[in-house]
């Protein structure tokens, strides 16, 4: 058993072309992982880092829409060239398929697609690759944790009890797989009305409490703001289109923290 574990560790591969690989995860769907991954990548770029963005959601890729990318990546038959958008090197299964064609793949095919993305994409001179994970605790999370070197994972949650339940499962999975959890983000923490009052629509304080319970760092809150969704739908994330927006400032703060931790 122990030998097996040693062997597994030995078999781990770093993604070539980057110094660090950071995943954005949450066991729950729809909590804002892709929104966070894209905006954090842009914030890191804005403070001078060289960034790649790997959309690891094989069944529901978001990057083509969130970055408004319509082209196909070039290939030399062996490797794929990432598509450059907003000065970020991007890769997504969505670049290779039709927008409305569902991916009907079994687990082993997903695992092999993930490995291809990690090993056969010509990422160049990056400081960070930000990986946008699919929801759940499935094949993609396992492949990344066991076979690819991940330097850290940021866990996103919304404050509802039902989301937190899944987050706890996610934390336990990464702990078990010995992946470093950088911290937890409370996304859509509250809405500030025209009256200036804060409305905690999905509940209050749950993500911070969960972080404390599992002795993880609480990285902060991102409020609900309609501009976030609007900009995502337009294919120009808020940090790119409105760098002075209060939401963009939160992302810039987080990017600075990550940069100073790793570089």
Select the binding partner of residue 50 from ligand ATP, Mg ion, none (C-beta < 5 to 8 A, by kind).
none
CB count within 10 Å of CB 105 equals 15
**Nearest-angstrom CA–CA distance, 121 and 191:** 40
On the CB side of 145, CA atoms within 13 Å amount to 23
For 93, list phi and psi in degrees, rounded to 5: -60, -25
* Under rule CB under 6 A, residue 45 binds ligand ATP: no
Neighbouring residues of 57: CB distance < 8 A, sequence distance ≥ 6: 34, 92, 93, 132, 133, 134, 140
CB of 227: closest distance to ligand ATP in angstroms? 8
How far, rounded to the nearest angstrom, does the alpha carbon of residue 260 sit from its chain's CA centroid? Answer: 19
Binding-site member from 14, 17, 60, 203 for ligand ATP (CB under 6 A): 60
Select the binding partner of residue 32 from Mg ion, ligand ATP, none (C-beta < 5 to 8 A, by kind).
ligand ATP
Binding-site member from 48, 107, 205, 229 for ligand ATP (CB under 6 A): 229
Select the binding partner of residue 22 from ligand ATP, Mg ion, none (C-beta < 5 to 8 A, by kind).
none
Choice between 182 and 188, CB closer to ligand ATP: 188
Assigned token pair, 218:
């609480």
CB of 64: closest distance to ligand ATP in angstroms? 13
* Under rule CB under 6 A, residue 248 binds ligand ATP: no
Select the binding partner of residue 35 from Mg ion, ligand ATP, none (C-beta < 5 to 8 A, by kind).
ligand ATP
CB count within 10 Å of CB 8 equals 11
Binding site for ligand ATP (CB under 6 A): 29-35, 57, 60, 62, 135, 187-188, 222, 224-225, 228-229, 232
């Amino acid at each position: 058993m122990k030998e097996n574990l040693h062997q597994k560790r030995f078999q781990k591969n770093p993604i070539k072309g980057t110094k660090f690989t950071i995943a954005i995860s949450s066991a729950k769907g729809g909590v804002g992982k892709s929104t966070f991954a894209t905006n954090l990548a842009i914030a890191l770029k804005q403070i001078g880092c060289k960034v790649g963005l790997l959309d690891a959601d094989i069944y529901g890729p978001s990057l083509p829409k969130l970055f408004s990318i319509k082209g196909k990546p070039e290939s030399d038959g062996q490797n794929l060239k990432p598509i450059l958008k907003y000065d970020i090197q991007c890769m997504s299964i969505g670049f290779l398929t039709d927008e409305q064609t569902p991916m009907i793949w079994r687990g082993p095919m997903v695992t092999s697609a993930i490995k291809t993305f990690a090993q056969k994409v010509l990422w160049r001179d990056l400081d960070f690759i930000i990986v946008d994970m699919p929801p759940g605790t499935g094949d993609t999370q396992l492949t990344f944790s066991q076979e690819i070197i991940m330097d850290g994972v940021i866990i996103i949650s919304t404050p509802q009890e039902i989301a937190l339940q899944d987050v706890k499962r996610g934390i336990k999975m990464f702990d078990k797989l010995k992946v470093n959890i950088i911290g937890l983000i409370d996304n859509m923490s509250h809405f500030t009305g025209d009256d200036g009052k804060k409305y905690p629509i999905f509940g209050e304080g749950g993500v911070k409490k969960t972080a404390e319970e599992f002795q993880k760092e609480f990285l902060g809150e991102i409020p609900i703001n309609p501009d976030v969704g609007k900009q995502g739908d337009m294919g120009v994330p808020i940090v790119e289109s409105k760098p002075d927006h209060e939401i963009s400032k939160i992302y810039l703060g987080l990017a600075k923290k990550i940069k100073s931790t790793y570089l």
